[in-house]
């Protein structure tokens, strides 16, 4: 193990030292630890490590480092570092601890070679996420955290069942492609476990429910890890599963439709995660050619960068003003140029404008849909791009940073470390967009792909300009409104309420009216009289025997007492008469 | 010059560029036949956005509720 140090283990073990440190050292220490974790990821060599046997079962190897796991590990450990820089100034070690653990667990997921250690790291993700949600310490956050953990327990159990059946049926502990077993029960169970974490509708409602409830630092950590770890798992386990093409395409459009309706900044961004992960899921489905898988990996990598950038700038807006609804913001660009700049870099990246990393990230997926002649995916993914442009650049950008000021908010200066984190990420978004071939070198499969073709650039420009045109036409209709939009979580939120109500109407009366009465009759009519009888019986029977014995003993001892005179001659007389009695008996018989 | 005027001119320029480079000079090649339509990107942008807005607005008739709905 000397030639490879697992960065995930370093991060997880190192994080537990954090609470023991004095308050002033926690920020610098967590930045140092995240840097060390990122360094160990960078120096990791490809290969397999950690051969061991447990209880006579050969588990080998535990750690696998290949190009696919490396690209995810790079971005997970890097964004962990960015997130830690972003929350450098806060005085809340739980969030820093959870952030470091979350980073470590995601790196662990991407490096896990056997399916059991993969599952352990996978479950750790949900645990860290809930810590970050509960750190907000409000009633909504607590409730959202409970809903999050309940949904993820369902997904985790489905995955666990799938994994156990897989091991039982194949005897194989390696985490490799499941596509040879397509259609079997464990194939479906594992797929459901993965797509739940990838937030594929209708199993997505936990995401826009939980992420906006976390702290602003928490949502920076939340958005890259769980969903993208699921994308990694899908690329590894289900490359080319056709159902994913349609799920992903629908999901990409579904996310932007809801995003367009949203008023809350972070809820809008959360729906964009659903939409963007849709591209990646579709890319995995298109993975019968490696272009699709490469596209998923490259889109996941770039998505993490610009999505974190967007969440960081939304967090900066919330930090500065204390407001997170577009109906209460407006004209914010005037007060925070760096936040506005970072937001628009992120927004143009997510929409895929040329010269940003979003453009070069998702092009391979759309091209893969073209090469496979899948017109449905091709059209849906392009339409989702329109929706992304209109909801993020136009709606969120315009109504937050421009338009007229809608409430009288105070503006607080954002800390330097937050601005540094945003600027580093923005510059990376642009750099990767300018030098795509350098980035493509790190993708899991070799490919010869040029994103900057005349057709592609002009189509993108057309989509951008005409989406802007439609926005200008419908400016009034698209004005944000202070309302809530119901989603699939309605079924379990309202469903839970009604099931409690219906239990109140059915089970509670039955319990009170029926079971309670029988019970009362049983106690009053049977148990108490019977126990009264038993007591009386005890009094009569049980107590008489000891009383008789004691009075007998007293009588005997009273009788004996008259012999105990205390005089020596009396005792001598008793002895002699006893000896005489013995002799007499001897002579007689 | 107002913002809207700039937008209209940009749209016009993009349509002209698309037609000149892709239809007249044949610099690009699409994957599908429908991509051969003149100014395909502009068409997708316009109709796609319109589609999203119409679906979103009709959906909001069902799903949009007051903010204290769950309380």
- The CA distance from B37 to B50, in Å, is 19
User: Which chain A residue is nearest to residue B18, measuring alpha carbons?
Assistant: A458
Contact A386, B44 (CB under 8 A): yes
Selected residues 13-32 of chain B with any CB under 8 Å from a CB in chain A: 14-15, 17-18, 21-22, 27-32
Contact A15, A97 (CB under 8 A): yes
Q: Please report the pLDDT score of residue A438 as a whole number.
A: 92
Contacts of A144 (CB under 8 A, 6+ apart): A133, A209, A210, A213
Q: Residue A111: name the closest of A220, A241, A9, A237 by CA.
A: A9
How many residue pairs bridge chain A and chain B with CB atoms within 8 Å of each other?
Answer: 155
Q: Is the residue at B30 inside a domain?
A: yes
Contact assignment for A257 to B56 by CB distance below 8 Å? yes
Q: Tell me whether B65 touches chain A (CB under 8 Å).
A: yes
Cα torsion through A31, A37, A39, A45, rounded to 10? -170
Closest chain B residue by Cα to residue A370: B31
Indicate if the pLDDT at residue A573 is higher than 80.
Answer: yes
Q: Which helix (H) or strand (E) holds A327?
A: none
Q: What is the pLDDT of residues A574-588, one digit of tens each?
A: 888 999 999 899 888
Determine whether the interchain pair B41/A458 forms a contact, defined as Cβ–Cβ distance below 8 Å: yes
Q: How many domains does chain B have?
A: 1
Determine the 3-state secondary structure of A17 from DSSP. Answer: coil
Most B-contacting residue of A386, A472, A490 (CB-CB within 10 A), to test interface: A386
Is A476 touching B (CB cutoff 8 A)? no
Residues paired with A59 in a beta bridge: A52
pLDDT at residue number A54: 66
Residue A121: how many CA atoms within 13 Å on its side-chain side?
A: 28
* Residue partners of A244: CB distance under 8 A and separation at least 6: A195, A234, A238, A281, A282, A284, A285
Q: Which of B18, B56, B64 lies nearest to residue A462, judging by beta carbons?
A: B18
Of A454, A468, A494, the CB nearest to B22: A454
- On whether residue B13 sits in a domain, the answer given is yes
Per residue, the 3-state secondary structure of A124-157, as one string, reads HHHHHHHHHHHCCCCHHHHHHHHHHHHHHHHHHH
Q: Does A456 touch chain B (CB under 8 A)?
A: yes
With bands split at pLDDT 50, 70 and 90, how would you rate the model's confidence at A59?
low
Model confidence at A349, pLDDT cuts 50, 70, 90, reads very high
- Whose structure tokens read 């140090």? A5
Q: Average of pLDDT values for B36-53?
A: 91
Mean pLDDT computed over A90-103: 92
Strands A52-54 and A57-59: antiparallel
Residue pair A156/A203 in contact (Cβ under 8 Å)? The answer is no
Residue A484, pLDDT > 60, answer yes
Quote the CA–CA distance of A556 and A560 in Å, as a whole number: 6
Q: Is residue B47 part of a domain?
A: yes
Determine, for residues B22 and A260 on separate chains, whether the beta-carbon distance falls below 8 Å. no
Instruction: Give the pLDDT confidence score for residue A15 in this predicted structure.
Output: 92
Is some CB atom of chain A closer than 8 A to the CB atom of B11?
A: yes
- CA-nearest of A414, A236, A406 to A313 is A414
Q: Which residues on B lie below 8 Å from A253 (Cβ)?
A: 52
Distance CA A380, CA A172 (A): 38
How would you class A91 by CB atoms within 10 Å of its CB: exposed for 0-12, middle for 13-18, buried for 19 or more? exposed
Distance CA A145, CA A213 (A): 8
Residue A542 pLDDT greater than 80, yes or no:
no
In 3D space, the residue among A396, A368, A196, A379 whose CA is nearest the CA of residue A299 turns out to be A368
Contacts of A387 in chain B (CB under 8 A): 48-49, 52
- The C-alpha of B1 sits at a distance from chain A's nearest C-alpha, in angstroms, of 16
Looking at the complex, does the CB of residue A470 fall below 8 Å from at least one CB of chain B? yes
pLDDT of residue A1 exceeding 60, the answer is no
Q: Tell whether A138 lies on the interface with B, counting CB pairs under 8 A.
A: no
The Cα–Cα gap between B17 and A326 comes to 36
- How far apart, in whole angstroms, are the C-alpha atoms of residue A230 and residue A106? 10
pLDDT digits (tens, 9 = 90+) for A182-206: 888 999 999 999 999 999 988 999 9
Option in A379, A390, A472 nearest B7 (CB): A472
Give the tens place of pLDDT for each residue, A210-242: 999 999 999 999 999 999 999 999 999 999 999
**Would you state the torsion angle of the CA atoms of residues A571, A577, A583, A586, taken in this order, to the nearest 10 degrees?**
-100
Where residue B3 falls among pLDDT bands split at 50, 70, 90? Answer: confident
Q: Which residues of A3-32 are buried (b: 16+ CB within 10 A; e: fewer)?
A: ebbbbbbbbbebbeebeeeeeeebbebbbe
How high is the pLDDT of residue B24? 83
Kindly report, residue by residue over A12-26, the tens digit of the pLDDT: 999 999 999 998 899
Tell me, yes or no, if B37 comes closer than 8 A to chain A by beta carbon: no
Task: Round to whole Å and give the CA distance between A144 and A148.
Answer: 6
Please give the average per-residue pLDDT across A156-174, as a whole number.
Answer: 91
* Contact check, Cβ <8 Å, B44/A382: yes
Per-residue pLDDT at B1 exceeds 80? no
**Tens-digit pLDDT profile for residues A392-416:** 999 999 999 988 888 888 899 999 9
Query: Burial of A474 by CB count in 10 Å (0-12 exposed, 13-18 middle, 19+ buried)?
Result: middle
- The whole-angstrom separation of Cα A326 and Cα A23 is 36
**Structure-block tokens of residue A227:** 């969903």
CB contact under 8 A, B41 and A390: no
Q: Does the beta carbon of A398 lie under 8 angstroms from any beta carbon of chain B?
A: no
Residues of chain A positioned with their CB less than 8 A from the CB of B18:
458-459, 461-462
- Optimal mutation site among B30, B33, B46, B49, interface A, most CBs of chain A within 10 A: B49
- Other Cβ atoms less than 10 A from the Cβ of A571: the count is 13
Which residues in chain B are contacts of A256 at CB distance < 8 A? 52
User: How big is the CA angle at A16 (ends A13 and A22), to the nearest 5 degrees?
Assistant: 135
B9: containing domain? 3-62
- How far apart, in whole angstroms, are the C-alpha atoms of residue A100 and residue A108? 12
Q: What's the distance, CA A133 to chain centroid?
A: 10
Total residues found in chain B within this entry: 71
**What residues of A are in contact with residue B10 (Cβ under 8 Å)?**
465, 468
State the best of B23, B53, B65, B68 to mutate against chain A, taking most chain A CBs within 10 Å.
Answer: B53
Residue A2 above 80 pLDDT?
A: no
Structure token pair of residue A158: 């489905």
Q: Which of A338, A301, A119, A323 is nearest to A216 (CA)?
A: A323
* Location of structure tokens 């610009």: A306
- Residue B44 located in a structural domain: yes
| Mean predicted lDDT score pLDDT of chain A | 91
Contact assignment for A386 to B44 by CB distance below 8 Å: yes
The answer to whether B55 contacts A468, with C-beta atoms less than 8 Å apart, is: no
How far away is chain A from the Cα of B20, in angstroms, using its nearest Cα?
Answer: 11
Q: Which residue has the tokens 């802007």?
A: A468
Q: Is the pLDDT of residue A174 over 60?
A: yes
Q: Which among B17, B29, B56 has the least Cβ separation from residue A458?
A: B17
Q: What does DSSP assign to residue A482?
A: S
Q: Does the pLDDT of residue A454 top 70, yes or no?
A: yes
Q: Chain A, 493-512: which have a CB under 8 Å from a chain B CB?
A: 493-494
């Amino acid at each position: 193990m000397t030639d490879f140090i697992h960065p995930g283990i370093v991060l997880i073990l190192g994080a537990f030292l954090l609470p023991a440190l004095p308050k002033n050292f926690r920020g610098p220490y967590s930045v140092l630890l995240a840097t060390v974790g990122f360094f160990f990821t960078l120096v990791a060599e490809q290969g397999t490590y950690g051969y061991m046997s447990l209880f006579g079962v050969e588990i080998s190897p535990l750690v696998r480092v290949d190009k696919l796991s490396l690209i995810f590990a790079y971005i997970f450990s890097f964004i962990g570092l960015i997130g830690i820089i972003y929350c450098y100034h806060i005085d809340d070690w739980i969030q820093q601890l959870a952030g470091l653990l979350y980073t470590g667990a995601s790196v662990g997921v991407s490096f896990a070679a056997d399916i059991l250690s993969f599952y352990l790291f996978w479950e750790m993700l949900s645990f860290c996420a809930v810590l970050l949600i509960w750190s907000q310490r409000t009633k909504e956050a607590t409730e959202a955290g409970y809903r999050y953990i309940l949904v993820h327990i369902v997904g985790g159990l489905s995955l666990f069942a799938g994994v156990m059946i897989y091991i039982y049926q194949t005897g194989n502990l390696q985490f490799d492609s499941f596509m040879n077993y397509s259609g079997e029960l464990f194939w479906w169970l594992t797929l459901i476990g993965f797509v739940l974490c990838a937030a594929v509708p209708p199993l997505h409602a936990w995401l826009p429910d939980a992420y906006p409830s976390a702290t602003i630092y928490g949502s920076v950590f939340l958005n890259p890890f769980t969903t993208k770890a699921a994308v990694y798992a899908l690329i590894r386990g289900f490359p080319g599963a056709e159902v994913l093409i349609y799920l992903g395409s629908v999901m990409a459009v579904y996310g932007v439709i809801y995003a367009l309706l949203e008023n809350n900044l972070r809820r809008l961004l959360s729906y964009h995660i659903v939409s963007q992960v849709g591209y990646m899921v579709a890319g995995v489905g298109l993975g019968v050619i490696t272009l699709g898988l490469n596209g998923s990996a490259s889109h996941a990598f770039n998505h993490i960068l610009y999505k974190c950038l967007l969440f960081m700038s939304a967090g900066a807006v919330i930090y500065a003003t204390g407001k997170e609804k577009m109906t209460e913001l407006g004209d914010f660009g005037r007060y925070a140029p760096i936040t506005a700049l970072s937001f628009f870099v992120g927004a143009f990246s997510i929409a895929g404008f040329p010269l940003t990393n979003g453009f070069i990230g998702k092009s391979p997926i759309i091209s893969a849909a073209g090469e496979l002649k899948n017109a449905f995916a091709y059209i849906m993914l392009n339409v989702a791009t329109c929706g992304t442009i209109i909801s993020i650049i136009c709606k969120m950008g315009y109504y937050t940073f421009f338009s007229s000021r809608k409430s009288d908010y105070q503006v607080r200066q954002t800390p330097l470390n937050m601005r540094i984190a945003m600027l580093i990420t923005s510059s990376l978004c642009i750099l990767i967009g300018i030098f795509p071939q350098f980035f493509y070198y790190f993708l899991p499969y070799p490919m010869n792909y040029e994103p900057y073709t005349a057709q592609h650039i002009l189509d993108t420009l057309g989509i951008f300009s005409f989406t802007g045109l439609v926005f200008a036409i419908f400016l009034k209709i698209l004005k944000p409104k202070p309302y809530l939009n119901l989603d699939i979580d309605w079924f379990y939120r309202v469903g839970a309420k009604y099931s409690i109500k219906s239990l109140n109407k059915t089970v509670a009366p039955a319990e009170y009216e029926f079971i309670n009465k029988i019970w009362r009759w049983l106690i009053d009519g049977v148990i108490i009289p019977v126990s009264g009888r038993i007591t009386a019986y005890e009094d009569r029977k049980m107590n008489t025997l000891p009383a008789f014995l004691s009075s007998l003993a007293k009588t005997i001892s009273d009788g004996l007492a008259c012999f105990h005179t205390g005089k020596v001659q009396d005792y001598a007389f008793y002895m002699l008469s006893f000896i005489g009695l013995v002799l007499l008996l001897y002579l007689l018989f | 010059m107002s913002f809207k005027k700039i937008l209209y001119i940009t749209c016009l320029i993009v349509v002209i560029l698309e037609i000149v480079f892709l239809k007249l000079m044949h610099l690009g090649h699409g994957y599908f036949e429908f991509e051969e339509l003149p100014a395909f990107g502009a068409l997708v942008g316009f109709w796609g956005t319109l589609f999203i807005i119409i679906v979103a607005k009709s959906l909001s008739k069902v799903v949009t509720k007051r903010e204290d709905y769950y309380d």
